[in-house]
Amino acid sequence: METFFNPSSVAIVGATEKPGSLPGVIIKNLLDMGFKGNIYPVNPKYKSVFGLMCFPSILDIPGKIALTVIAVPAPAVLDILKQQARKQVHYSIIISAGFREMGTEGMEMEEKIKQTASEHAIRVLGPNCLGILDNYTNFTTSFLPRERVSKPKKGSLSILSQSGAFAIALLDLAAQEGLGISKMISYGNRVDVGESAFLPFLSDDISTKVIAIYMESVDHGRRFIEVAKACSKKKPIIALKVGKGAAGIAAAKSHTGAIAGRYEIYKAAFLKSGIIEANGLEEFIDGVKALSMQNPPKGNRVLIITNGGGFGVIVADHCSENGLEIPPLSDQLREKLKAQFSGFYVVNNPVDLTGSASDEDYRIALHTCMVESDEYDAVIIIPLMAPQGMSEKVVGLIADTMRSSGKPAVICTVGGAFTLRVKQLFEERMLPVYPSPERSAQAMSILFKRKILQEGILHPSR
Amino acid sequence: METFFNPSSVAIVGATEKPGSLPGVIIKNLLDMGFKGNIYPVNPKYKSVFGLMCFPSILDIPGKIALTVIAVPAPAVLDILKQQARKQVHYSIIISAGFREMGTEGMEMEEKIKQTASEHAIRVLGPNCLGILDNYTNFTTSFLPRERVSKPKKGSLSILSQSGAFAIALLDLAAQEGLGISKMISYGNRVDVGESAFLPFLSDDISTKVIAIYMESVDHGRRFIEVAKACSKKKPIIALKVGKGAAGIAAAKSHTGAIAGRYEIYKAAFLKSGIIEANGLEEFIDGVKALSMQNPPKGNRVLIITNGGGFGVIVADHCSENGLEIPPLSDQLREKLKAQFSGFYVVNNPVDLTGSASDEDYRIALHTCMVESDEYDAVIIIPLMAPQGMSEKVVGLIADTMRSSGKPAVICTVGGAFTLRVKQLFEERMLPVYPSPERSAQAMSILFKRKILQEGILHPSR
């Protein structure tokens, strides 16, 4: 699998400098990223492309080639694959669309590709995909111009996606959310390698700590459960299954030609493999962010601290809906807090510091309840930034106190420009921020689910 | 009620220029907003406050006063109320916290205020509230500094909120989402006027077109249903009920002293009154945005158009979950589209224009399916902005075509900086944009719910 992420040499077929040409954008992106392997543009029409020597065909390239990237019209793909077989190139990423997802004719072309690849022992990623982005080797086959898609920083999240558009949107969102990426793998119609092939690789990959899967259908049901089970023992996997109802299943079929199958079966398989399932794109990205930035809590006893009472109420509602407990403060803890706070602060769970709250009040509440006491396993903190007593300093106070507690926290804060700046500061300190009470409760429940699944896997007798 | 929004003269008790003082910030905000009525600061310590003549007591102000704004510590409120009774001021907004929400002692103080107000025929808004913002008369009692909370533009949404923090967050979000506001009313502990008093007023208010209610408890159950029913015949009302489960109910009690009561009863009351209920802050603001920007569809037949197949699949899934139909294209419509499009576009529902889509392809698809044909009642459009064929021009093409169709549309687009700029352009054209497939489906279903409720109300025999 390594070759897909770090090929020593790569041939890009159909290379031109024409604006809008996919192979051209791929070469530009590789050069921009600073990829260190050899790049061989292939096109009989040109002598050079973007300053690189261009070859009439794959066969004309001197020396060995590790991988081809094919982004030409569908009917031309088979011949290129046959050529690369003669040149003994054993890996190929086929970006081109126009196969199974287009009906009978496309399906026949795809079958021929599958057969040819198998005969010549070529491992194929795609077709109808975006291919690879590796943030550590700087290898990419993305054909989207840099100015349209923000590049996320290096990090620990790896993405497996049947949909290319989805993978790219996720990268763009990750950049926006301050979330670091290790690898993105988009496999589209998946004639050969898919999630079951990549999961064991990601399981052993040291730069990957969290795995996110977008799935319309699965490649090999049993094998998938087996490898996912092994992988989720080591790393959290979160999945978004799409194509659930009749309308979605039909849509999936014309998207990647996927037979989405009965949703209930997927649900059971995820549970069996220790995969956390997200319902919708936001729960998916929210969960990924929580799992990337925080550890699972030991239990489900959650404290809520806020300076906006109404938000505390909504978070409490959604915690209950998501299987989290909001136990009242013990008398002892209540007295300790009362001794430190103004009389009209509401010393309860939620702790409501009211509109008069200062940054320091947050530190006091967290230190008293999460560092000095062990009544709560985790905390949802809702610092609204509108009141005058609040400043950017609250970020450092909260981050430092939580670090010395050793317990997980998620942040909810709602508002405009000033709030967004504070959000960024929190996320630089690895505290995940959510823009609504319900999403912060959901993110915490995903952390707790990871705990439950880990225990289920570690203690299979339960 | 008018007096609360447009007082000819207002006395601000406890006025100082000290940084952090609530009455001081209120006066500053009134001056900044350009409020045209007379402002009378009251404080025996000063001769003038922010350039306005300051009076030792309410009784010293010459001439009539329409309204007092009281933002002093709780124990001092009662005396001020008695003073204003002597001066014959019949309206008061009590910002101060520290009453019912604090337990027995606070409850007693609150009861005395209630009694005194009733004896002297003073209508009271509050206590423990943020009061009023009127974007047309420029009257406000907000005590939050301007640089912390963005001011939304003039518009047609009015907000009724038991929680002040919630109301302010909503204003901040509205500003961010390009949503115009008419009035914000925060009533906190609600000793006197609450939602049942304000709904008839908003029902007749010409600048209000959509009403949003944040509710922990209701003031008068039966009266509320009656006035809400009458109001929702004219204008959509969307409500967020918080304090649902045990933890939330307890939290609501210590927030505004509200007895939240059984959630099922609220659910039934909303249905009976034609109120749309939102589950969570995001569904609330998403629904408000859809209702403010678009009309309800005639039926539930939804077309999906995208250039990112995976997103089409997720939207289809969530439409099904939310009671919307995704009927396949008729043969006739399919042929018409095929004749105009490249062979590998997926001509189906969802229409998948693939990564090769151009701005103009969106116009063609919409014109053919929504203007020339009547197969669909509404459309969810998912223009992903990463591919090269897409530009900002797509906004005008979509907006113009939808206008000539006379049918509602919502937009979903996902991504970073470039996408956010395009979002803003769409919203300037009154097309609501959502950052995830599930939220766009939900927003469309809220538009459809409004249609159903309208019909239920117009045809009660059903």
Residue A198 has pLDDT above 70, yes or no: yes
Report the DSSP beta bridge partners of residue B276.
B238
Residue A142 within a domain:
no
CB B113 within 8 A of CB B68: no
User: Nearest chain A Cα to B357, which residue?
Assistant: A20
Determine, for residues A310 and B147 on separate chains, whether the beta-carbon distance falls below 8 Å. Answer: no
A165: pLDDT confidence band, cut at 50, 70 and 90?
A: confident
Q: Is A166 exposed, middle or buried (0-12, 13-18, 19+ CB in 10 A)?
A: buried
pLDDT (0 to 100) of residue A462: 38
Question: In the listed set B293, B320, B350, which residue is the last one of a domain according to the structure?
Answer: B293
- Does residue A328 sit in the same domain as residue A409? yes
Residue B315 within a domain:
yes
Residue B135 within a domain:
no
Give the single-character DSSP code of A369: I
Residue B458 has pLDDT above 60, yes or no: no
pLDDT (0 to 100) of residue B49: 95
Q: Residue A22: what are its φ and ψ, rounded to 5°?
A: -60, -50
Least confident range of A238-247, B35-44, B47-56, B66-75: A238-247
B278: pLDDT confidence band, cut at 50, 70 and 90?
A: very high
User: Which tokens in the block code for residue A240?
Assistant: 């978004």
Alpha-carbon dihedral angle through residues A451, A453, A456, A457, given to the nearest 10 degrees:
-110
User: Nearest chain A Cα to B97, which residue?
Assistant: A344
User: Nearest chain B Cα to A250, which residue?
Assistant: B313
Determine, for residues B313 and A248 on separate chains, whether the beta-carbon distance falls below 8 Å. Answer: yes
- Does residue A50 sit in the same domain as residue A193? no
Pairing outcome for strands A139-140 and A154-161: unpaired
Nearest-CA distance A149 → chain B (Å):
6
Residue A331 has pLDDT above 90, yes or no: yes
Percent of chain A with pLDDT over 70: 98
Residue B462 has pLDDT above 50, yes or no: no
Determine, for residues A387 and B148 on separate chains, whether the beta-carbon distance falls below 8 Å. Answer: yes
Contacts of A350 in chain B (CB under 8 A): 251, 254
Residue A459 has pLDDT above 60, yes or no: no
- In whole angstroms, what is the distance from residue A319 CA to residue A437 CA? 9
Residue B346 has pLDDT above 90, yes or no: no
Determine, for residues B318 and A419 on separate chains, whether the beta-carbon distance falls below 8 Å. Answer: no
Determine, for residues B254 and A348 on separate chains, whether the beta-carbon distance falls below 8 Å. Answer: yes
b or e along B291-329 (b: 16 or more beta carbons within 10 Å of the residue's beta carbon)? bbbbebbeebbbbbbbbbbbbbbbbbbbbbbbebebeeb
Alpha-carbon dihedral angle through residues B102, B108, B112, B113, given to the nearest 10 degrees:
10
CA atoms A78, A84, A86, A88: torsion sign: negative
Distance from first CA to last CA of chain A, Å, rounded?
Answer: 36
Rg of chain A over CA atoms, in angstroms? 25
Residue A309 has pLDDT above 90, yes or no: no
Helix (H, G, I), strand (E, B) or coil at B409: strand
Residue B300: C-alpha distances to residues B212, B291, B323, B375 (Å)? 24, 16, 8, 11
Residue B204 has pLDDT above 90, yes or no: yes
- In whole angstroms, what is the distance from residue A252 CA to residue A103 CA? 13
- Does residue A398 sit in the same domain as residue A452? yes
- Does residue B224 sit in the same domain as residue B337? no
Of A247, A251, A436, the CB nearest to B280: A436
Nearest-CA distance B244 → chain A (Å):
6
CB A61 within 8 A of CB A11: yes
Of B279, B311, B386, the CB nearest to A144: B386
**Span B114-122, average pLDDT:** 97
B281 compared with B408, residue with greater pLDDT: B408
Contacts of B419 in chain A (CB under 8 A): 172
Residue A447 within a domain:
yes
- Does residue B371 sit in the same domain as residue B436? yes
User: Which tokens in the block code for residue A321?
Assistant: 């809906």
Contacts of A162 in chain B (CB under 8 A): 310
Helix (H, G, I), strand (E, B) or coil at B89: coil
- Does residue A431 sit in the same domain as residue A332? yes
Nearest-CA distance A217 → chain B (Å):
12
B29: pLDDT confidence band, cut at 50, 70 and 90?
A: very high
Residue A143 has pLDDT above 90, yes or no: no
A146, A317, A445: which to substitute to probe chain B, counting the most B Cβ within 10 Å? A317
pLDDT (0 to 100) of residue A355: 83
Residue A205 within a domain:
yes
Q: Please write the tens of the pLDDT for every residue from A74-85.
A: 999 999 999 999
User: Nearest chain B Cα to A355, which residue?
Assistant: B165
User: Nearest chain A Cα to B21, which residue?
Assistant: A388
User: Nearest chain A Cα to B353, which residue?
Assistant: A255
Residue B242 has pLDDT above 60, yes or no: yes
- Does residue A124 sit in the same domain as residue A173? no
Determine, for residues B254 and A346 on separate chains, whether the beta-carbon distance falls below 8 Å. Answer: yes
B413 compared with B102, residue with greater pLDDT: B413
Greatest C-alpha distance within chain A: 82
User: Of A183, A190, A184, nearest to A224 (Cα)?
Assistant: A190
Question: In the listed set B293, B313, B331, which residue is the last one of a domain according to the structure?
Answer: B293
CA-angle at A327, arms to A326 and A333, nearest 5°: 125
CB A225 within 8 A of CB A272: yes
Non-local (6+) Cβ contacts of B291 within 8 A are: B210, B236, B238, B276, B446, B447, B450
Residue B99 has pLDDT above 50, yes or no: yes
CATH number, residue B45 = 3.40.50.720
- Does residue B281 sit in the same domain as residue B330? no
Helix-helix angle A393-405:A359-366, to 10 degrees: 10
Residue B379 has pLDDT above 60, yes or no: yes
- Does residue A172 sit in the same domain as residue A216? yes
B313, B345, B348, B353: which to substitute to probe chain A, counting the most A Cβ within 10 Å? B313
Contacts of A436 in chain B (CB under 8 A): 280-282
Question: In the listed set A267, A293, A319, which residue is the last one of a domain according to the structure?
Answer: A293
Determine, for residues B304 and A251 on separate chains, whether the beta-carbon distance falls below 8 Å. Answer: yes
User: Nearest chain B Cα to A356, which residue?
Assistant: B20
Q: How many CB pairs under 8 A join A and B?
A: 279
User: Nearest chain A Cα to B188, which residue?
Assistant: A310
pLDDT (0 to 100) of residue B459: 53
A101: pLDDT confidence band, cut at 50, 70 and 90?
A: confident
The residue segments making up the domain with residue B154 are 149-293
Domains identified in chain B, total number? 3
CA atoms A411, B187, B179, B148: torsion sign: negative
CB A238 within 8 A of CB A446: yes
Q: Please write the tens of the pLDDT for every residue from A249-303.
A: 888 777 777 766 788 888 989 999 999 999 989 999 999 999 999 999 999 999 9
User: Which tokens in the block code for residue B38?
Assistant: 């007379």
Nearest-CA distance B347 → chain A (Å):
9
User: Nearest chain A Cα to B413, which residue?
Assistant: A169
Distance from first CA to last CA of chain B, Å, rounded?
Answer: 36
Residue A457 has pLDDT above 70, yes or no: no
Determine, for residues A388 and B144 on separate chains, whether the beta-carbon distance falls below 8 Å. Answer: yes
Contacts of A244 in chain B (CB under 8 A): 317, 320-321
Contacts of B252 in chain A (CB under 8 A): 313
Determine, for residues A437 and B281 on separate chains, whether the beta-carbon distance falls below 8 Å. Answer: yes
Percent of chain B with pLDDT over 90: 75
Determine, for residues B242 and A313 on separate chains, whether the beta-carbon distance falls below 8 Å. Answer: yes
CB A333 within 8 A of CB A323: no
pLDDT (0 to 100) of residue A298: 96
Determine, for residues B255 and A176 on separate chains, whether the beta-carbon distance falls below 8 Å. Answer: no
Non-local (6+) Cβ contacts of A339 within 8 A are: none
User: Of B201, B190, B196, nearest to B235 (Cα)?
Assistant: B201
Residue A190 within a domain:
yes
- Does residue B332 sit in the same domain as residue B401? yes
Determine, for residues A388 and B101 on separate chains, whether the beta-carbon distance falls below 8 Å. Answer: no
CATH number, residue B200 = 3.40.50.261
Q: Residue B21: what are its φ and ψ, rounded to 5°?
A: -75, 130
- In whole angstroms, what is the distance from residue B170 CA to residue B184 CA? 9
Q: How many helices (H) and strands (E) does chain B have?
A: 16, 19
- Does residue B210 sit in the same domain as residue B307? no
Determine, for residues A147 and B384 on separate chains, whether the beta-carbon distance falls below 8 Å. Answer: no
Least confident range of A238-247, A362-371, B269-278: A238-247
pLDDT (0 to 100) of residue A458: 52
- In whole angstroms, what is the distance from residue A43 CA to residue A52 CA? 12
Helix (H, G, I), strand (E, B) or coil at A241: strand
- In whole angstroms, what is the distance from residue A213 CA to residue A158 CA? 9
pLDDT (0 to 100) of residue B248: 81
H helix intervals, B235-358: 246-256, 263-273, 281-293, 309-321, 331-340
Of A169, A246, A281, the CB nearest to B384: A169
- Does residue B161 sit in the same domain as residue B234? yes
Residue B141 within a domain:
no
**Span A207-218, average pLDDT:** 94
Pairing outcome for strands A181-186 and A131-134: antiparallel
Q: Please write the tens of the pLDDT for every residue from A381-415.
A: 999 998 888 999 999 999 999 999 999 999 999 98
Helix (H, G, I), strand (E, B) or coil at A40: strand
Residue B80 within a domain:
yes
CA atoms A119, A121, A122, A125: torsion sign: positive
Determine, for residues A248 and B148 on separate chains, whether the beta-carbon distance falls below 8 Å. Answer: no
H helix intervals, A120-216: 164-177, 195-204
Least confident range of A142-151, B154-163, B352-361, B443-452: A142-151
Nearest-CA distance A312 → chain B (Å):
7
pTM of the model: 0.89
pLDDT (0 to 100) of residue B124: 97
What's the whole-number average pLDDT of chain B? Answer: 92
Edge-first strand listing for the sheet containing A67-70:
A38-42, A9-13, A67-70, A91-94, A123-125
Contacts of B259 in chain A (CB under 8 A): none
A408 compared with A147, residue with greater pLDDT: A408
